[in-house]
Structure 1
């Protein structure tokens, strides 16, 4: 009984948003980096973006990694970077849109952190991603349909996150406050 109680306490402590890393998951354009930076600042803790960390580790930009080594190799590097970051002290971590799709990476996030799905509708996502280039998965015919298909495929997996917060099409501080409210932090 005592060991069960210790395990329960360890589990609840590991998932206390006031004590552990907060991982933002969701599809490209959901606002993980923008919201994450502001959330970390509000909480007074470090912010890391797994995409930035992958680029540093590979000494090349993500589109270059995709072009030279393919998506599979990118995902391998992404997994390794996320594993390393989850062993560091508490932070807000924004992940790439596909990171949570990897079962082993997702399991690690759920064991070591609190996961928050930033959810947005297709039109909001499309407005955001169409402003920026450099999205390798959208370098295809009819990129909006590609985004819609990715969203349909990924939403059931994103729904496995500990929390779901709508990323509104407005000032990022609104979504930051929604995350803080959901996590009670």
Structure 2
């Protein structure tokens, strides 16, 4: 989801692992030659999703070890979900409570999908549509809660090592330590 910490946690995790960090949105803007918001305004979401799909496929095809932060809407296309699942990479869903996302994003003017609407209502709708897709795609779900970036990096690196995601080959499979769904108090494990 927007605001869950993908770029921040990803950057720190990559540094911890000694890997490259790539933010897909930065690469998309480099490819476009303008901001994602400008592209949305000028050409619409479908055009943006076409570019996102092409750039994501290129990034997943890189041979070097990397931590890749995708845009929150990348899962909307089946081709992207299949590419992520079939890439051999560990796909991680950083799951934050809706209330926390609203708090983090209430003043954000850079995200096209949150402009001109009530951010809380829009985030609730995005979560309703995207959460099942994130869970379907991810091999690992990590509830971010109020954890610090350092705590999240430690949890991720600890969970990646036994899965072979650090310094070994990884076969995508769902992590048996799926986190609680926000607000449910129940653990979830959905086969993908």
1:120–1:167 contact (8 Å) kept in structure 2: yes
Pick from 126, 140, 146: which aligns with 1:169?
146
**1:72-118 Cα shifts (integer Å, max 9, x gaps):** 11111111111111111220000000002211011011111210000
Report the Cα offset of residue 144 of structure 1. Answer: 1.0
**4+ residue segments displaced more than 3 Å:** none
Structure 2: runs of 5 or more not aligned: 167-192
Distance (whole Å) between structure 1 residues aligned to residue 92 and residue 122 of structure 2: 24
Cα distance in 2 for partners of 1:168, 1:36 equals 16
Work out which of the residue numbers 151, 157, 179 in structure 1 matches 2:127: 151
| 1:90 matches 2:65 | yes
- What is the SS of the residue equivalent to 1:134? coil
Output one character per residue of 1:143-177: Cα deviation in whole Å (capped at 9) or x when no partner: 21110111111111111110000123342111112
2:105·2:119 contact (CA, 8 Å) conserved in 1? no
Count of aligned pairs between the two proteins: 159
Asked if structure 2 preserves the Cα contact closer than 8 Å seen for 1:166 and 1:175, the reply is: no
Q: Work out whether residues 116 and 164 of structure 1, in 8 Å CA contact, stay in contact via their aligned partners in 2.
A: yes
Higher helix share: 1
Whole-Å Cα distance in 1 between the matches of residues 75 and 81 of structure 2?
5
Using the alignment, how far apart are the partners of 1:116 and 1:42 within structure 2?
Answer: 16
What's the TM-score once normalised by structure 1's chain length? 0.82
Aligned with residue 96 of structure 2, among 120, 132, 145: 120
Q: Please say which of residues 97-106 and 173-182 is displaced more in the overlay.
A: 173-182
Point out where structure 1 has 5 or more consecutive residues left out of the alignment: 1-26
SS state at 1:169 partner: coil
CA contact (8 A) 1:168 1:175 kept: no
Cα RMSD, aligned residues only: 1.2
Greater relative contact order, per chain length (Cα 8 Å cut-off, separation 6+): 1
TM-score (norm 2): 0.79
Contact conserved, 2:109 with 2:115, CA < 8 A, in 1? no
